[in-house]
Amino acid sequence: MKVLILISVVAMATVGNALYSCPQFWNLFEGNCYRYQGDRLTWSAAEARCNRYFNSAGMGHLASIHSLAENRFVYEMFKSSVSINDIPNWVHNPVDPNPIYGIWIGLHQTVADGPWKNSDDTDQDNFFRWRSLEPNNSYYVGEQAEDCVHIWHFNDDSDIQQKWNDMYCNEVMSFVCKMPADGQMRR
Ligand SMILES: *[C@@H]1O[C@H](CO)[C@@H](O)[C@H](O)[C@H]1NC(C)=O
Ligand SMILES: [Ca+2]
Ligand SMILES: [Ca+2]
């Protein structure tokens, strides 16, 4: 009996490490789970929303992005949820053909214009996907600096490049949460 139990525990552990799984409504990509959130929130509120999700492998954060493939995967979750012409009416300048909106990602500056950090504490290394002339560290009169990053949604062909912009953190945008998949190998 003891031997049988031991064998089945070992078998389960082996299967668990070989197969990643995500909760319902989350999408699996390379060992992590992602979920698009259509609510438009400030960067901090978006991160707090992501923090409410967890599974046995860890908790959620705004998605940190470490490769072109991951950038595309995350952005496509947004793109598959909105129409190319779905320009929200809250954007600052609705007649701008490329108004500033899109989805928050986990990259931000915890000190104004300090080093870029991910809310999930992963190291950004050298992967950045800035739009040309960004990050421009703009300041808004009487308000805070552009210290939070979003993937910029464009209504033209450049959208396929899925570039990043630093933005005022109290802007509201939809976002993608990320958490480790169940079954992920622990380091
Ligand atoms: C800096 O970027 C913001 C978007 O984050 C844009 O609205 C602003 O016009 C840019 N500022 C300059 C001086 O280019
Ligand atoms: Ca900044
Ligand atoms: Ca900017």
Predicted TM-score (pTM) of the model is 0.84
CATH code for the domain in which residue 22 is found:
3.10.100.10
Tell me the per-residue pLDDT of 50-107, one tens digit each, with 9 for 90 and over: 999 999 889 999 999 999 999 999 999 998 887 655 666 656 666 777 777 899 999 9
Q: Does ligand 1 lie within 6 Å of residue 137's CB atom? A: no
Whether residue 149 lies inside any domain: the answer is: yes
- Structure-token pair, residue 65: 């992005």
Ligand 3 center to 186 CA (angstroms): 36
Nearest ligand atom owner, CA of 134: 3
Q: Label residue 40 exposed, middle or buried (CB < 10 Å: 0-12, 13-18, 19+).
A: middle
Predicted local confidence at residue 184, as pLDDT: 59
Most confident of 9-13, 16-20, 58-62, 156-160: 58-62
Question: Which atom of ligand 1 is closest in space to residue 92's alpha carbon?
Answer: 7
Whether residue 55 lies inside any domain: the answer is: yes
Total structural domains in the chain? 1
Whether residue 32 lies inside any domain: the answer is: yes
Question: Which atom of ligand 1 is closest in space to residue 138's alpha carbon?
Answer: 1
Whether residue 187 lies inside any domain: the answer is: no
Could you list the residue range(s) of the whole structural domain that residue 17 is in?
2-180
Q: Label residue 118 exposed, middle or buried (CB < 10 Å: 0-12, 13-18, 19+).
A: buried
Q: Does ligand 1 lie within 6 Å of residue 167's CB atom? A: yes
Q: Does ligand 1 lie within 6 Å of residue 181's CB atom? A: no
Predicted local confidence at residue 43, as pLDDT: 97
